[in-house]
A and B are shown apart, each in its own frame.
Chain A
Amino acid sequence: DSGVTQTPKHLITATGQRVTLRCSPRSGDLSVYWYQQSLDQGLQFLIQYYNGEERAKGNILERFSAQQFPDLHSELNLSSLELGDSALYFCASSATSPPYEQYFGPGTRLTVT
């Protein structure tokens, strides 16, 4: 158990819909990262937050957005969903100082039908 929690575990929705994925980092970790992993693909970094502020941005679509709240949990919002958005979405957290190991949650499996 990494200490990172993600909800929901599974999500099935239709094209055009909007969903919110939630992540709670390990106790004490200020950084949260979001990744997308399509079937049999590698991990694509989406975005990183540090103590509520956006720190780094990857190939995140404009239809996707994220935020980190004062209690440090984070939400990833996916809108106007397309079939190609079906994937595993992982959240990870890390401590503040380098070297920074990332601890990954169990993931949310999103299926868009």
Chain B
Amino acid sequence: LAKTTQPISMDSYEGQEVNITCSHNNIATNDYITWYQQFPSQGPRFIIQGYKTKVTNEVASLFIPADRKSSTLSLPRVSLSDTAVYYCLVAIAYSSASKIIFGSGTRLSIRP
């Protein structure tokens, strides 16, 4: 099963680019990599998902190297409202024996 490792916390300032890396050394061929954002006492919110190379949407980019053993979530020009916990998730799309493993989460604090 793919286990994920993320930094416990990160600090940055408004307007900066923030990169959060997740390690998933045992990722399997069919695993997708997904990132979620969670505010206190709320359910996580989907940010971005990818399988390989680079994916970009209106809020973030996801970089996945060729070996897929890590991934980096990039948040451009962060604001105070980006202060949250960010989770990396590796999960098999289809499998009767699949398990879904969230990383421990990275607590991102943005300062003015």
Query: A residues engaging B (CB < 8 A)?
Result: 2, 4, 33, 35, 42-45, 48, 55-58, 88, 90, 92, 98-107, 109
Q: How many residues of B contact A (CB 8 A)?
A: 25
Q: How far is the CB of A88 from chain B (nearest CB, A)?
A: 7
Contact, CB under 8 Å: A104 / B43: yes
Query: B residues engaging A (CB < 8 A)?
Result: 32, 34, 36, 41-46, 49, 51, 87, 93-105
A–B Cβ pairs within 8 angstroms, 10 of them: A2-B43, A42-B104, A56-B95, A56-B98, A58-B99, A92-B43, A99-B32, A99-B49, A104-B45, A107-B41
Q: How far is the CB of B79 from chain A (nearest CB, A)?
A: 22
**Chain B residues near A101 (CB-CB < 8 A):** 34, 46, 49
